[in-house]
Amino acid sequence: MKKAKSIKSNNNPKNHSPILDQISRQRLWFYRFFTMILVPVILFFLLEISLRLFHFGYPTSALIETNINGRNYIRENSAFAYRFFPKRLAREFTPLRFEADKPKDVFRIFILGGSAAQGTPDAAFSFGRILEVMLQLKYPDTKFEILPMAMPAINSHVVVEIAKDCAAYKPDLLIVYMGNNEVVGPFGPGTILTPIASNISLLRFGIRLKSTKIYQLITLTLEKMNILKSPFNQWKGMEMFLENQVRINDPGLEITYNHFNDNLEKLNQIGYENNIKIIYSTVVSNLKDCPPFNSLHRADISEAELQNWERFYSSGSAHEKAGQCRQAIKDYLKAAKVDSEYADLQYRLGHCYWESGNFTQARKHYFNAREYDTNRFRADNRINTIIRNSAVSLDGFAFLADALSEIQQKCPGGLPGNDFLLEHVHLNFEGNYQVAHTIFKQIEQIIPDRLKNIKTNNSINISDSLCAGYLAYNYYEKHHILELVLNGFIKQPPFTNQLYHLETIESLETELDKIRQVIQSLDSNHLGNTYKEAIKKRPSDWLLRYKYAGYLADANVRKYQESAKQYELVIEAVPHDPNTYVMRGVVLAKLGQFNEALIHNQQALDINPAIAKAHFNSGLIYQKLQKTKSAQDSYGLALFYDPAHSKAANNLAFIYSQSGDISKAIATINRGLKNNPNDLLLNYNLAMFLYRNDNKAEAIEQLRHTVRLAPDEAMIRKTLDEWLKENK
């Protein structure tokens, strides 16, 4: 009988198959890869798809669809900025709408960039709007669609994402005006918004991740659990970045330049792949009339060197103040030998050389002052060099509009200053006109022959005054803009840190007085007619009607019925803009139509619940109607969304005082003063409430402080004198 063959064990090393062993190892690694990578990825996509199917969260693209009167349009998305800013700090686009399906006869242009491209402080007079007028006048039978997709405080990282979204709507041209926010914008070394990242691929991956519904779910959960909190509860503009100083030799700057270059290459790629031409404009900043925002000594300066530097600098300052500029220059140059990196020193040298008539040296030192400024709110020379290089790197698709060179040629000494700029980077009407004209000339070189052959008006001289007439840029609007600049910029940090700050304020106030006198000398119908004439020429321009409505509602005009009608027409054009509902609500309240005004405030809040002004205006109406609880709630919400709303704090404190709760009134005033320490009414009312609460010594000191804030206020001085007599 034959013996049965024994079964060989796989555990026997002698019988172990290398091929089977390799297959087993491959399976093991596949299993590990599947469980560690593929399974989470699959689960991620399943969860993402589920959240989208259930319409969770908000859209994150720059443009979204909307239906108006049964027609499909595209409009800006106010939630887009949540990917780059904390929600309370998020900036917004200028409202717009356009047809989802581009008509064949339309030449569509998107304008991309930051606040200067948007037209800050007043988008109605941006270079994009002026450019639209120029194209309208030169090519009257061609429909040019100029669509502003610019936003304050953003830089190239954000603009790339906007450009991707714009490319889906078949633009013929992208116009890019950016560079001022590369350091202080998202992912820059001088920002407070997001950490800087050296690897741009990882940075872009993070941006894409923030566009997912899962990211929204996680952030919402963390917010509900009070784990995720922003250190900032309100936007305070440039002041927020004051402590984030960046030296000229900071390693983060080189990362910034590389990122900027990479992002411009990405824009070129978007243009090439989608057959879209791109015009890049160089960026203009104020060299002559904008001192540095912050200065630092060189990092390795010794104590002895610092003492020598301060001695020379102080001596130079004294000579400069005495009008002895030549002697001041000698002292400043001695200081520069010790430490030339201090930005204020460079600016003082520039100023003294300018006063001495040496414009070549003045230009050199004004230029250095910007380059050494450690609060880098202005595009430096390297940024403009990258723009110029990127504009010629893609033949046939990318083009340069050298606005900086054009403006330099028109400036004394080649130094851009207040002739073309309002403060550090925002252009006045003349500056916006020059940028528009430079871009216009470039468009003429690349515009398709089919449009040139339709009809061209070659005889017209498109001057700045002609453009001003088409946009109703008049003395009233100029006064309005300068007031915004004075109160919203110049009187706020970091401008308060600048050299010659008081002189800047005096100069602006003098200019405002002159414009007021001109307005008072005009016929009562003159200003109103400028709006009417502009609207006749551009009847579909909703921004013109918005500006006209604001003029009609002015305290010196008071044509509230006409104003309400204009705002109504604006709402028909851009029904998704909450600010127009707020403004029409204000006008209706002036007409005594309180219920209608409350409805408009609520319509604004339905679009954006965080509009403090809508809550405040509702509070005013409820207070007038003696609905105290509703007024109290509305003022509370206004302060929740805008802790710096001093009028809401005052009115809420007044309600508490009326109910006899003086302690709560004082607490409310004190909270208001944390955000508005120099607000006259808050300081005065605090003194009054303290006095009523029998804190008379504290009240008197508080009123003395108020007098120091407003020494010319006779009523406050009189009250203080009366209190001092009563409490001898």
Strands 277-281 and 173-177 turn out to be parallel
Alpha-carbon distance of 161 to 492, in angstroms, equals 32
Q: Please check the confidence at residue 355 and state whether its pLDDT lies above 60.
A: yes
Q: Please check the confidence at residue 13 and state whether its pLDDT lies above 60.
A: no
Task: Single out the residue of 318, 344, 346 nearest to residue 333, CA to CA.
Answer: 346
pLDDT tens by residue, 61-90 = 999 999 887 889 999 999 999 999 888 788
pLDDT of residue 6: 44
Alpha-carbon distance of 728 to 455, in angstroms, equals 85
CATH architecture of 63-288+379-461: 3-Layer(aba) Sandwich (3.40)
Alpha-carbon distance of 217 to 47, in angstroms, equals 10
Task: Single out the residue of 317, 315, 365, 319 nearest to residue 343, CA to CA.
Answer: 365
Q: Taking residues 605-623, what's their average pLDDT?
A: 96
Choose the most confident range, by mean pLDDT, from 130-134, 192-196, 489-493, 723-727.
Answer: 130-134
pLDDT of residue 543: 98
> How would you classify residue 613: left for phi > 0, otherwise alpha for psi between -120 and 50, otherwise beta?
alpha
Q: Please check the confidence at residue 1 and state whether its pLDDT lies above 80.
A: no
Q: Taking residues 212-225, what's their average pLDDT?
A: 85
Q: Please check the confidence at residue 607 and state whether its pLDDT lies above 90.
A: yes
pLDDT tens by residue, 289-320 = 999 999 999 999 999 999 999 999 999 999 99
| Paired tokens of 711 | 């020494």
pLDDT tens by residue, 618-635 = 999 999 999 999 999 999
CATH number for the domain formed by residue range(s) 303-372? 1.25.40.10
Q: Please check the confidence at residue 25 and state whether its pLDDT lies above 70.
A: no
Gyration radius (Cα) of the chain, Å: 31
pLDDT of residue 654: 95
Quickly state the pLDDT bin for 332 (edges 50, 70, 90).
Answer: very high
pLDDT tens by residue, 180-213 = 999 999 898 888 777 777 889 989 988 999 999 9
For the chain, percent of residues with pLDDT exceeding 90 = 77
Q: Residue 640 CB: number of other CB atoms within 10 A?
A: 14
Q: Please check the confidence at residue 179 and state whether its pLDDT lies above 60.
A: yes
| Paired tokens of 52 | 């989208």
- Domain ranges in the chain are 19-53, 63-288+379-461, 303-372, 483-726
Alpha-carbon distance of 430 to 173, in angstroms, equals 24
Q: Please check the confidence at residue 136 and state whether its pLDDT lies above 80.
A: yes
Three-state SS string over 70-93 comes to: CEEEEEECCCHHHHCCCHHHCCCC
CATH number for the domain formed by residue range(s) 483-726? 1.25.40.10
For residues 51 and 437, the model is more confident at: 437
Q: Taking residues 378-386, what's their average pLDDT?
A: 97
pLDDT of residue 2: 45
pLDDT tens by residue, 470-523 = 999 999 999 999 999 999 999 999 999 999 999 999 999 999 999 999 999 998
Q: Please check the confidence at residue 287 and state whether its pLDDT lies above 90.
A: yes
pLDDT of residue 448: 86
Distance between start and end Cα atoms, the chain: 133
592's enclosing H/E stretch is none
pLDDT of residue 21: 59
472's enclosing H/E stretch is none
Least confident range of 31-45, 114-128, 403-417, 688-702: 31-45
pLDDT of residue 46: 86
Alpha-carbon distance of 603 to 549, in angstroms, equals 19
Alpha-carbon distance of 527 to 479, in angstroms, equals 12
Partners of 148 in the β-ladder:
111
DSSP summary character for residue 283: -
Residues 172 and 276: beta-carbon distance below 8 Å: yes
Query: What number of residues does the chain have?
Result: 728
| Paired tokens of 576 | 């998704």
pLDDT of residue 229: 63
Quickly state the pLDDT bin for 396 (edges 50, 70, 90).
Answer: confident
| Paired tokens of 287 | 């060299």
Quickly state the pLDDT bin for 10 (edges 50, 70, 90).
Answer: very low
* Averaged confidence pLDDT in the chain: 91
Q: What angle do CA 431, 172, 186 make, to 5 degrees?
A: 60
Residues 339 and 297: beta-carbon distance below 8 Å: yes
Alpha-carbon distance of 593 to 614, in angstroms, equals 16
Q: Specify the amino acid at residue 320.
A: E
Alpha-carbon distance of 402 to 342, in angstroms, equals 30
| Paired tokens of 713 | 């206020």
Partners of 279 in the β-ladder:
175, 399
Q: Taking residues 330-346, what's their average pLDDT?
A: 98
Q: Please check the confidence at residue 20 and state whether its pLDDT lies above 60.
A: no
Q: Taking residues 386-402, what's their average pLDDT?
A: 89
| Paired tokens of 112 | 């991309």
Residues 6+ apart with CB under 8 A from 130: 432, 433, 436, 467, 471
pLDDT of residue 192: 74
Query: What are the backbone dihedrals phi and psi of residue 110, each rounded to the nearest 5 degrees, phi first?
Result: -105, 140
* 483-726 has the same fold as 63-288+379-461: no
Least confident range of 98-112, 440-454, 490-504, 696-710: 440-454
Residues 704 and 720: beta-carbon distance below 8 Å: yes
Alpha-carbon distance of 53 to 50, in angstroms, equals 5
Q: Please check the confidence at residue 728 and state whether its pLDDT lies above 80.
A: no
Alpha-carbon distance of 652 to 674, in angstroms, equals 16
Alpha-carbon distance of 674 to 435, in angstroms, equals 41
Alpha-carbon distance of 307 to 322, in angstroms, equals 23
